[in-house]
Amino acid sequence: MTESSTADVVLSSTPAPGVRLLQLNRPEKRNALSQLLIRSLLSELSKASADDAIFSIILTGNGPFFCAGADLNDIAPLDEAGARACRYLEDLCAGFAAVKKPIIAAVNGPASDLILAAQPAYFVLPETKIGLIPGAGGTQRLTAAIGKYKAMRSILLAEPMTAEEAMAASLVASVVSPDTLTQHAFEMASKFTADNRQAVAFAKQAICRADDLCRDDAFERNLYYTAFGTNEKRRGVDDFLTARRKKA
């Protein structure tokens, strides 16, 4: 699929009154976050945020995967200067935080307010395996959520976490069966209406502010971009992409 327009990478619809459904649409790439997909997603989030008829947003992925993370084909040619110049992944977190309406992630296979995970889903920060560190607040948010030592194990060893483990660690709101994931997402979304629009917006801003006070994103961001200039990153990404091509 050629990524030539917003519709190619993010599908947008209003399947129920007050609900905007956004679907990452790169199933052949496991919905990996290319720079084009990020720009398209931010555009659709901005439109939904400005639409007075929309009270909540559901984010999901097309196919069996929610999102495989950063697109390594985008990362491969970037050095430190290039990564800093394009603000790789940095704008995504800022864009989510700027939306005052609740965002519900229906994770069918990461960056929302309420996360519903289907039982086969798993969560992993694999960056250290390719010579990088989690960017976009990954080290800061996970440490605040699950504590220093569990975050150390998850990030340094790049170990996957099951949906049930994520639930126990308070990383997701609910774990449901794959067959009822969409139903649960819409049931949750339907609870946001015009009657509580302003209170929900205020509450989200206050919670995000509390989260911001616990983080040092600038320090993480500098380390993240610096890692793009290392031989370890170049070798790690090249080796991963070479191995994937051999499997294809």
Note the pTM of the prediction, 2 decimals. Answer: 0.80
CATH number at residue 118: 3.90.226.10
- At residue 111, the pLDDT reads 40
Element (H, E) at 77: none
Give the model confidence (pLDDT) of 144-188 as tens digits: 888 888 889 889 998 888 888 888 888 888 898 888 988 999 999
**DSSP character at residue 127:** G
Are the beta carbons of 211 and 144 closer than 8 angstroms? yes
Would 5 be classed as within a structural domain?
Answer: no
Give the model confidence (pLDDT) of 68-104 as tens digits: 888 888 888 988 898 888 776 777 877 888 898 999 9
**DSSP character at residue 88:** T
- Please count the structural domains in the chain: 1
Domain that residue 89 falls in: 10-246
Half-sphere exposure of 167 (CA within 13 A, CB side): 14
Would 125 be classed as within a structural domain?
Answer: yes
**Nearest CA among 24, 196, 18 for reference residue 109:** 24
